[in-house]
Structure 1
Amino acid sequence: MTKTGAPLPPDELADRLTEVLGLAGLLYRRVLRKVEQTAPEQGLSVGVRAVLELLREEGPMTVPRMSGSQALSRQFVQRMVNDGAALGLVEQIANPAHRRSPLIGLTVAGRAAITAVTDREKAVLGRTGGELTEADMEACVRVLSGVLALFDGRGTETHGEREERAEGDGERNGPTGRGRTPSG
């Protein structure tokens, strides 16, 4: 939105989103490097950490489901699961829905490892300056969720169309699927 609150024209929006994506890429690379530097305490690569975090948030799931939810190849996710299993952080669980595709779940050690990593990250993130407000955070999540939706093929509808669809089908889970929309 412009300083007047009106939506940006498409060209200006594209320029600003390019700026946001540039910052997001830089942030991602710095976080990735920091996680790789600090996570060896738990023996976690970034990939294993992502698997542990997903399993903590979503519960046991199959490798194909993990790969789909993270937009990663099954082979990569399987390697990360294998690495996590070798460290005793994840385990196979019988899948009543599919004999040949076991569920992968966290072990007690896996839950402890991902909790330690995220607690350490939260301590660092809590020191972020700038006196950010809840409104700032909601705007950030809304923008990033909208860009993600665009690249997932869900972002071609207008804000008004999304609101109409949400009112019509009761959708209130938002792009995170965690029961909360980015704006509320």
Structure 2
Amino acid sequence: MTVEPRTEAGDVLTEVIMRTFRLYGAFLDAAEVMTKPVGLTAAWWQVLGAVLHEPLPVSGIAREMSLTRQSVQRIADVLVEKGLAEYLPNPAHRRAKLFRPTAAGYAAVDSLRAAQHAFTNKVSSQVDLDELKTTLKVMRQLVTAVDDVKRPAGASSG
């Protein structure tokens, strides 16, 4: 087994990964606080948020959010049971139904807006806007790079 040489860029990326884990945990904690008063969980909000603009099959949500299809399926089934979402026929695939929020699901997410904006405005006020924009750009590049590395050799990206 060949050991790859250590690089400065690799060390910096490792630190970015560790800070990302820490940040993700902090965002989940904040989301739980925001969602509890409206009867949601952070995971429910995450799944509903993935389909606010267009319905997707569960596998599409899982891919978009880098979650397992099984975990998204469990959450989707609970959301349907609670009347916050529904399954629709999928013209592109008979068995993979589309998932979307119901009016109650949209209302639940909408009721989070004030808390979400208060949180994001408070946090973002402590970081320069241009740096936030650069961070977003770099995060998108990292997602693409990780997806490229994970993709089997010869597989297309699209």
Q: Same fold (TM over 0.5)?
A: yes
Choose which of 29, 35, 50 in structure 2 pairs with 1:33. Answer: 29
Tell me the percent identity.
28
Structure 2 length-normalised TM = 0.79
Q: Which amino acid aligns with 1:45?
A: T
Would you say 1:111 and 2:110 are equivalent positions? Answer: no
Shift of 1:84: 0.9
Partners of 2:73 and 2:99 lie apart in 1 by 10
- 2:94 alignment partner in structure 1: 99
- 2:40 alignment partner in structure 1: 44
State the Cα deviation string for residues 62-110 of structure 1 (Å, max 9, x = none): 1122222222222111101011112211011122233322211111111
Shift of 1:60: 0.9
Choose which of 123, 138, 147 in structure 1 pairs with 2:133. Answer: 138
Q: Which amino acid aligns with 2:42?
A: V
Partners of 2:133 and 2:147 lie apart in 1 by 20
- 2:153 alignment partner in structure 1: none
Q: Which amino acid aligns with 2:41?
A: S
Shift of 1:15: 2.8
Partners of 2:65 and 2:97 lie apart in 1 by 18
After superposing on structure 2, the runs of 4+ consecutive aligned residues of structure 1 that deviate more than 4 Å are: none
Partners of 2:30 and 2:41 lie apart in 1 by 11
Paired residues, what number?
Answer: 144
Choose which of 112, 116, 135 in structure 2 pairs with 1:121. Answer: 116
Change over 3 Å in CA distance of 1:103–1:28 after alignment to 2: same
Higher relative contact order, chain-length normalized (CA < 8 Å, sep 6+): 2
Partners of 1:119 and 1:18 lie apart in 2 by 35
8 A Cα contact 1:43 1:87, kept in partner: no
Q: Which amino acid aligns with 1:109?
A: A
Query: Gaps (5+ residues) in structure 1?
Result: 1-9, 156-184
Partners of 2:132 and 2:98 lie apart in 1 by 34
- 1:176 alignment partner in structure 2: none
Would you say 1:67 and 2:57 are equivalent positions? Answer: no
- 1:78 alignment partner in structure 2: 73
